[in-house]
Structure 1
Amino acid sequence: MQQLNFPSYNFRFKNSENKVSIFDDIRKKFIILTPEEWVRQHTVQFLLQEKKYPKSYINVEKLIKINDINKRYDAVVFHPNGELFLLIECKAPDIKITQNTFDQIARYNLKLKAQYLMVTNGLNHYFCQMDFEKEQYVFLNELPAFSNSQITK
């Protein structure tokens, strides 16, 4: 798999029926390794190891309904009270992040109401904080780490 713009992490792999799978620490199972999954797994490790978000607050690939259409978010981080702290959209490294990508995560966030957004293709990472009053997002240089964030509100 392609080298990404993340620190190096140790992953567990298995090969079955000529398909490589990667172990997902959140879902606690092996997932077929696609380019997007490679980015998602790096993102999860980034949240756990660099930002120190507790594993129990992270959720990966769940179904949501947007305008009666089933969609799937890539990953989220919750507050202990169940409110959404961070919504993450992962793309494969060969997918350029465009305004359409931000429109997609913004549509999801109209329903989910996360405080922060992260969009990544593994090579480029974008972090935003929501301003719900002005109905816009403000770009940040990085996500808040667990210890100095408001995640424990």
Structure 2
Amino acid sequence: MARRALNFPQALTALIQLKIEDGQELIFDVVRKKWLVCTPEEWVRQHAVQYLVALGYSIHHIQIESGLKTGFNTKRSDIIANSNGKPEVLVECKAPEVALSQKTFNQAFNYNYTIGAPLIWLTNGLQNLYWDCKESKQLEQLPA
């Protein structure tokens, strides 16, 4: 099945494993080490994981869909990259057809209120927004 090209280096896409099983396209999650249905959001999430690894984050220090307690609710963050035992980057992934809006930004900030990561990355695979929480400013790229 044809997948939408994303705004990530082509070399990262080559690392992503896909297969068809029972007529359904599956993608291998390298963090959780299991095959998942390849939804548009999962396609973006696996690219984001590969990008974090390319920047030098250890695959062993990346968490996917970690449970977060926000008030009375439990939510799930898409990706948290840890460094030295602490959250370093909170990543919120959306499907390519979902615009990165103020609502997306607020969602990530609400999650990060619990996590306390110094960096937030919002991505739909086509657009990437990086935010430095310590300096309260947008970044051009995610620091390595």
Q: TM-score, normalised by structure 2?
A: 0.92
Aligned letter for 2:4?
Q
Instruction: Verify the 8 A CA contact 2:41 2:95 in the aligned structure 1.
Output: yes
**Residues 1:67 and 2:75 are matched in the alignment:** no
2 CA distance for matches of 1:18 and 1:63?
Answer: 31
Shifted more, 61-70 versus 100-109: the winner is 61-70
Aligned letter for 2:17?
R
Alignment deviations for residues 8-28 of structure 1 (CA, whole Å, 9 cap, x no partner): 222211222221110111111
2 CA distance for matches of 1:63 and 1:14?
Answer: 28
Match of 1:151 in 2: none
2 CA distance for matches of 1:106 and 1:15?
Answer: 36
Displacement, 1:77?
Answer: 0.7
Q: Identity rate of aligned residues, in percent?
A: 37
Q: 1:48 aligns with which of 49, 53, 57?
A: 53
Aligned letter for 2:57?
Y
2 CA distance for matches of 1:38 and 1:106?
Answer: 23
Aligned length: 139
Structure 1: tracts of 5 or more residues without a match: 146-153
Equivalent residues in 2 for 1:1-150, closer than 5 Å: 1-8=3-10, 9-10=13-14, 11-49=16-54, 51-80=55-84, 82-131=85-134, 137-145=136-144
Alignment deviations for residues 31-64 of structure 1 (CA, whole Å, 9 cap, x no partner): 1100000000111111112x12111111111221
Aligned letter for 2:68?
I
The alignment partner of 1:117 has SS state of strand
Structure 2: tracts of 5 or more residues without a match: none
Match of 1:149 in 2: none
Aligned letter for 1:78?
N
